[in-house]
Amino acid sequence: MSNVWYQEITRDNWKTLLASWLGWALDGLDFVLITYVLTDISKQFHISLTIASTLILATFATRWLGGAVVGSVLDRIGRKNAMILGVLIYSVATFLCGLSWSYWSLLVFRLFVGIGMAGEYAAGSTLLLENWPERVRNKASGFLVSGWAVGGLLASVVYSIIVPNFGWRALFFVGIVPALLTLFIRFGVSESEEWTKSRAEHDKPQGVSFFQLFTKKWFPIAFIMFLFMFASFGMNWPVLGLMPTYLKGIGYNPAGIGEIMFISNFGALLGYWFSGFLADRIGFRLASVLTLLASLVFLVLAFSTAHSSSLITMGIFMFFLEFTNLGISGLWPYYITQHFDVDVRSSGLGFTYNLGAIAGGLSPVWGSALKSSIGLGGAIASLTFFWTIILTLIIAFNVAGRVKNRKLQLTELSKSY
C-alpha cells in the first residue's frame, strides 16, 4: 500500500467527492440565503423581525424528519437515488420561496427546504464515505463538510449581486440551480459499494431502518449520537447565529463585521480540511480533544478583548476560533457512520445529526435569555464554553465506543446461549 494517500483515490472516488461536496455547498448556499433578507421579508409581509426569524428555525425544525424519512429511503433504494431526491426537494422548495405570497406560505416552503437538506446530508455523507478507502475517510469527511463553508461564502457574493438589482425574491430563484446537480449524480456517480454488497447479501431489507433505531439493538447508539450532535450544534451556533449582532452592539460597523465574518468563515473552511489530515495522522479522539481545548483558548481571547481589539486582531482571533471550534466538526459525519451498520447507516446518520441540529435553532433563544444577566458577549462565550466541555468529555471518554462495545458483548453472549 502506498504511503501517499491520494494515490489510493480512484477517478470514481473523486467524482463521488465532487458530487457530495457540491451537494453540501449548494444546500449551504440555500440555507444561508434567507438570513440576508429577513428584513426585506418582514417589510414585504408586514411582520416583525422576530416572527421573520422563525423562518430560520423552521428549516431546523424539519431536519430530523428529513433525516429520518430520506435516510430510510437511502437504506432501502440506495445512496445515489436518495441523494437525487434530497437535492430536488430542497432546490425546488427554495425556488418556491421566491413565489411565496404570505408569511405562512414561505414558512411551509422553508419546512420542505429543511427536509430536503437533511436528506442530502445523509445521502452525500454515506455515499462518499462508503466509496472512499477506509484509511482516508477522515480526510473525505473534512473535504465534504468544507462545502458548507463555501456555500456560506458564496451566499454573500450572490446576495450582493442579485438583491440590489432584482430584489429579494430573485435570490431564492437561484435555489433551483442545485437541481442541475442531479444530472451529474445520475450519470456520473457510482452507487455505494458497501451498500450494493450488503444488499446483495440480504434479499430483502430488514424493515424500515428508521424504526430500527428505536430497537434495543440500536437505540443506545442513536441516543449517544443525538447527544453528541446536540452538543456540537450547541457549541457552534451561538457564534454562527449571534456574533454579527454582538459585534454591531459593541461598535463595529457593517463593513468591519462583514470582514470579520468572512475571515472566520475562511478559517472554518481551512479547519475542515486540516481536521481530516490531523485525525488520519494522530487519531480521531486525540485530534478532536486537542482541537476542542485549543478552541477554548481562542474563545477566551476573542471575547475578553472584543471591546478593545482592533479589526485585525479580532479577525485573527475569530479565524482561529472557527478554525478549531467549527473546523473539527468536519470529522463528525465519518465518526457517526462508524457506529452504524450499513443497513441502518443513512437513517442513523440523517436522524441523529439533524435531530441534534435543533440546538442550532435554540442557540439564539438561549443567547437572548442570558443576555439580560451577563450580556450578549457573555452569553455567546458561556454557551460555547459549556457545550465544548460536554462534547470534549463525550469524545475523551469514548462514550459512544463504550456503548457500542457493550452492545457487541451482549450480542455475542446471547449467541453463546
pLDDT at 234: 94
Q: What Rg value do the Cα atoms of the chain yield, rounded? A: 21
CB 329 within 8 A of CB 274: no
Q: Is the pLDDT reported for residue 83 higher than 50?
A: yes
For residue 223, give every residue at least 6 positions away whose Cβ sits within 8 Å of its Cβ, in sequence order, or none.
Answer: none
CB 325 within 8 A of CB 237: no
pLDDT at 123: 79
For the ranges 32-46, 167-181, 276-290, 397-411, the one whose mean pLDDT is highest:
276-290
**For residues 214-220, average pLDDT:** 86
Look at 406 and 42; give whichever has higher pLDDT.
42
Sign of CA dihedral 267, 10, 197, 406: negative
**For residues 384-389, average pLDDT:** 96
Q: Is the pLDDT reported for residue 96 higher than 60?
A: yes
pLDDT band at 1 (very low <50, low <70, confident <90, very high): very low
Q: What is the pLDDT of residues 240-253, one digit of tens each?
A: 878 887 888 888 88
Q: What is the pLDDT of residues 125-175, one digit of tens each?
A: 888 888 888 888 899 899 988 988 888 788 777 877 888 888 889 888 887
Q: Is the pLDDT reported for residue 407 higher than 70?
A: no
pLDDT at 100: 92
pLDDT at 247: 85
Average pLDDT, the chain: 84
pLDDT at 412: 55
For the record, the C-alpha cell of 216 comes out as 434495543
> What is the share, in percent, of the chain residues with pLDDT greater than 70?
91
CA-CA distances (angstroms) from residue 220 to 239, 259, 391? 30, 43, 17
Name the residue with cell 435555489.
175
Q: What is the pLDDT of residues 15-39, one digit of tens each?
A: 888 888 888 887 778 777 777 787 7
For residue 122, give every residue at least 6 positions away whose Cβ sits within 8 Å of its Cβ, in sequence order, or none.
Answer: 67, 70, 71, 74, 82, 86, 346, 347, 349, 350, 353, 354
pTM of the model as a whole:
0.83
Domain layout of the chain by residue ranges: 12-416
pLDDT at 205: 53
pLDDT at 7: 79
Domain 12-416 has CATH 3.30.210.10: no
> What is the share, in percent, of the chain residues with pLDDT greater than 90?
28
pLDDT at 416: 53
pLDDT at 408: 61
